[in-house]
Structure 1
């Protein structure tokens, strides 16, 4: 798969230097960005705007609890 011409290799190296993994999306999934933005917006509005995060460990625990609630306990998700 060819790299995006808008971003150079140095652009990706900045993220990798911070220990982040770059995930490339397929060209056939143009809605992927919209889906990711919706998930991030939901987490910000329903979680991060309401809780003061005290550290990385606390964030991981809060996100884990949010994931359980989001996937199991919401009324419209019940079968």
Structure 2
């Protein structure tokens, strides 16, 4: 049980570390493009949410 938890923690730490390193290597243009895409996704999702009925 402890070995499983430890393995999961190491895996989570490693994936977060590699994601952080990949983010550091990206250009500013790539970061701006990702922000625009995420904003568009949020706008689309907000349009799909209907007003709840009372």
Higher-Rg structure is 2
TM-score bin (small chain): 0.3 to 0.5
Q: TM-score, normalised by structure 2?
A: 0.42
Q: Normalized per residue, which structure has more helix?
A: 2
